[in-house]
Amino acid sequence: MNTNYFFALTLPDETKEYIYDMTEEIRSEFPFKKWLHKDDYHITLAFLGNAPEEMRKKSMELVKGSLSNEGPFSLSLHRISTFGERHNPRILWAGVTGEERLFDIQKKVYQECLQAGFSLDKKPFKPHITIARKYIGERTFDIEELQVKAGRDSIGQHSFTVSEVSLYQSHFGASPSYEPIFTIRLQ
């Protein structure tokens, strides 16, 4: 069976709970085909796709070595936004601020995955936490209305410390869908 793998920042449980609680307020008024399980919240650093075992092992070794001198760092939730058509988005996400270290770590992970032989997405890195996929509401989607209902000002009041990068495996059709199979502690 095909499965996908990706390296991502692992979010603390209290941050996952904070995002989930915030979305409880908006789910009924802004229906999406799939709301992610709170254990699936993460920030993707490098998407590997259906990765052969040899390349996966090599990437794990290289990424672990590259991050050996990296310590934990702080981020703050910033805003809720979307990807896709403005009135019919395909992704609802939460953004983060304080991300200079995040960009440094993403570059290291990305480079090591290239070194391991992966072909990676060349689009610029846009750090985000996917919350839901594929808007299915009958009325036109309005991001400003959603931001007000979700507490536009309060989302930025949540800060958290990132201390782990994990290699995740996707389990299509399961909930939660993503399983961390290798974790690197930032020390």
- Backbone torsions φ then ψ of 25, nearest 5 degrees: -70, -25
Residue with tokens 């936004």: 81
Among residues 37, 128, 158, 171, the one annotated as catalytic is 128
Active site residue 42: yes
C-beta of residue 186 within 8 angstroms of C-beta of residue 72: yes
Among residues 42, 87, 158, 171, the one annotated as catalytic is 42
- Backbone torsions φ then ψ of 169, nearest 5 degrees: -115, 135
Active site residue 158: no
First to last CA, the chain: 36
**Greatest CA separation for the chain:** 50
Sign of CA dihedral 102, 171, 64, 187: positive
Task: List, by residue number, the catalytic residues.
Answer: 42, 128
